[in-house]
Structure 1
Amino acid sequence: MSVNIRGMDEVLAKMESKLGSRAVAKYSNEALNIAGRYMAANLKSAVGSYRDTGATVNEVTVGKARLKGGVRTIKVGWDGGGSKQRYRLVHLNEFGYTRFGRTYGPRGMGKVQNAYDSSREPMKALEKHELEKLL
C-alpha cells in the first residue's frame, strides 16, 4: 500500500530552503511516523471485527520512516515474530480462498483494503497538519 501526497513538494522545497535538508528529513519522518501510527490504529480496529484469539490485531506493527528510492516511506503491516505469525494468514481473510473447489468468503474479506481506503485522506491531512505544526 502506498499513499501519494500531491502539493507537498512545494511545501518541502520551501522548508528545505529555509531550514536545510537534514531538518526537513527529520520533520518529514516525524510526520510520517504519526501518520503511520494513525493508519495502524485504523487497521487494528478493522481487523478486530473478525478477531478470535486477537493475534491478528496484536501483530500489527509500524516501521520507521525511511528514504527508499528518493521517496520517504513507512511500512504498516504484520510482524512475523509473534507466535501465531499472522502475516502468513492475513491474505486469506482479505481475499478469501478456495478449498476442494468451493470458494469461501470469510468475515474479514476486504477489511484491510477498506481501512486503507478510508484512512488515505485523513492521513494526508494529518501529515500536512503535523508538518505545519513542526514549522
Structure 2
Amino acid sequence: MSVEIEGTHNMLRKIREQYGEARLLKAQDKALRRGSIYFVSVLKQNFEVFKDTGGSIEEVSVTEPHYIYGNTRMVKVYWSGSLNRYSIIHINEWGSINKPNPRGKGAIARTMFMTEKPYRQIIKDTLKEEL
C-alpha cells in the first residue's frame, strides 16, 4: 500500500530547475521523514486497541529515504526486532482461517486512510518551508 500525491511531477521539475537536485533531495528527505513520523504515531495509536505485550508497537521501524524504480523517493514502514512481530502482522491485518476477525483487523489500512490527507499536507508544507 502506498500513497501517491498527484500533480507533484511538474512542481518537482520546476523546483529541480530553480534550486538544483541536491537541495530538492534534502527537502524531499525531510518531508518524507516528517510524514513517516506522523504516520507511525497514528499507527501506534491504532495498534493500542489490540495491544497485548506491545511487541507490534515497539517493533515498528522506518527506513531512511531511498529511491525505488530509479526516480521515486520513499520510506518503508516495517516491523523488525527480537520479538519477530513481522511474522504476525499479516494475520493481525487480514485474519486467519481459525480467527477471521481479530481485534486489530484492518488497523494498517485504517491508518493509511486516516493519515492520507494530513500526510499530503505535511509533505506539501515541508517542501514549501524548505524551498
Q: 1:108: how far off?
A: 0.4
2:101 counterpart letter in structure 1: G
Structure 2 residue 103 is matched with structure 1 residue 107: yes
Distance 1:17 1:83 in 2: 45
- What is the aligned partner in structure 1 of residue 128 from structure 2? 132
- Identical positions, percent: 31
Shift of 1:104: 3.2
SS of match in other structure, 1:48: helix
Deviations 1:42-88 (A, max 9, x none): 11111111001111100011111111111111101211xx2211000
Structure 1 residues 82-112: Cα deviation after superposition (integer angstroms, max 9, x where no partner): 221100001111111113xxx4311001111
8 Å Cα contact 1:39-1:76 kept in structure 2: no
In structure 1, list runs of 5 or more residues that go unmatched.
none
- Correspondence for 1:85: 84
TM-score (norm 2): 0.94
Matched, 1:117 2:129: no
Higher-strand-fraction structure = 1
Letter of the 1:89 partner, please give it.
I
Name the SS of the counterpart of 2:97 in structure 1: strand
* Whole-angstrom CA distance in 1 between matches of 2:75 and 2:100: 32
Normalising by structure 1, we get a TM-score of 0.91
Q: What amino acid does structure 2 have at the position aligned with 1:22?
A: A
Q: Indicate the structure whose relative CO is greater, using CA pairs within 8 Å and at least 6 residues apart.
A: 2
Which residue does the alignment assign to 2:60? 60
- Cross-structure match for 2:31: 31
Runs of 4+ aligned structure 1 residues displaced above 3 Å come to: none
Offset of residue 19 of structure 1: 1.0
